[in-house]
Amino acid sequence: MAQKQLVIGMFGFGNVGRGLYDVLNTISSNEAVIKRICVRDITKERGIDADFTDKPDYIFNDKDINLIVELIDDAEAAYHIVKRALQSGRSAVSGNKKMLAHHLPELIELQQKHNVALLYDASACGSIPVIRNLEEYYDNDLLVSVKGILNGSSNFILSKIFNENYSYDVALRRAQELGFAESDPTLDIGGWDSLFKLIIITVHAFGCYVSPEKIFTYGISTMNDNDIRFANEKKRRYKLVAHVEKLDNGKIIMSVMPQLISRDKYIYSVEDEFNGVVIKGKFYDKQFMFGRGAGGHPTGSAVLSDITACFYNYRYEYKRMFDHAPVEYTDDV
C-alpha cells in the first residue's frame, strides 16, 4: 500500500541533484515533492526557485520532511546524513557509492532497527537497475557471477583510445572536458569507483560484505602505448572490468582490473560512458544489462526510481544475507 506524499529534504545540488530536480519537474509527480535543499554554498546562483539552506538542522528539524535524499560527493558527510536520517525514523535514498561501500553493514542494521528503508539503486551503474534486479529476480542460490563495466568515465577513455586512436592522455583530457571525468580522476581511472560499486552489488548478489582494502584493484592509469598496440595486434580491446564469482567450494572471489576482451563477449561493444553488466547463473546462463552510467539525468532517474519505491513502502530485504548460510570471500585462488 502506498503511503502519503513524500516530502523530500535533499542534500546536494550537483550534477545528479540537478538531474533529479529536472526529472521530477518534467513528470509533475504527485507522489513526491522536494521541500528544501541543503548545499555547501548558499550564495551560489542556481537558476531555480527553490528553498536552499546551508544548515542540515533546517531539514532534520522539519517535521513535514519524511524522506532524506543524499546526493553529495563527500563520503564522510554523506555517512552522517544517512545515519542521522535512519536514526530519526526517516527513510533515506543515497547515491554515494564510496560511503555505502565502507558503511553498508552498519546502515543495514540501522534500517532493520528503525523499520525504515535505505535505497541506493542509483549508486551502482547509473540508469541500470542492477541492484533491484538482483534483489527481486535472482532470488535463488543458482547465481554464479556478476561481471561488467561499472565506470562510465574509464570506459569513455578506453573507447576513445580503441575507436578513434586517441592517446591515453588525450582521451583523459577529453573526458574531463566533457564532464565525464573529474579534474582529479583518481577514483575513476584508479578503479576505485568500480570497486565501491562491486562491493554493493556483491551484497545483493551473494549476501556477502567485503571491505574495500581486501579486494584486488588495479585501474587504467598506467596504460601505455605498448599495451594499446598489443591489444590491437590481438584484435581485442581493454575494458576495466569488475568481477565477483562464486567458486565450486562456495566461496567468492572479487577483483577490479583491465582485461583484454574479445569480440564475442557482451561487454566488448559497451562504448563511451555506458555501463554493461553480465549476470551468470547455473541454469539460465548469461543475461546482459546495458545503460548509460555517467551522472546527471540518467542517475537522477535512478534516484527517482528509489523515491517511487519508498512511496510504495519498498525495502531491500537482503534475503541472501539474512536467510542463507553466509558466503565467504577468499583471495586464495
State the catalytic residues.
197
Other Cβ atoms within 10 Å of 327 Cβ, number: 18
**What does the block give as the cell for 216?**
584486488
**What does the block give as the cell for 261?**
576482451
The DSSP symbol for 212 reads G
Q: Residues of 213-227 as b/e, b for ≥16 C-beta within 10 angstroms?
A: eebebebbeebeeeb
Other Cβ atoms within 10 Å of 110 Cβ, number: 18
What are the start-end ranges of the H helices in the chain?
15-27, 57-60, 75-87, 97-114, 130-136, 152-164, 168-177, 186-189, 192-206, 225-233, 296-311, 319-322
- For 199, counting Cβ atoms within 10 Å of its Cβ (0-12 exposed, 13-18 middle, 19+ buried), the class is buried
Q: List the end-to-end C-alpha distance of the chain, in Å, as a whole number.
A: 47
Amino acid, single-letter form, for residue 270: V
Q: Are 241 and 219 in contact (CB under 8 A)?
A: no
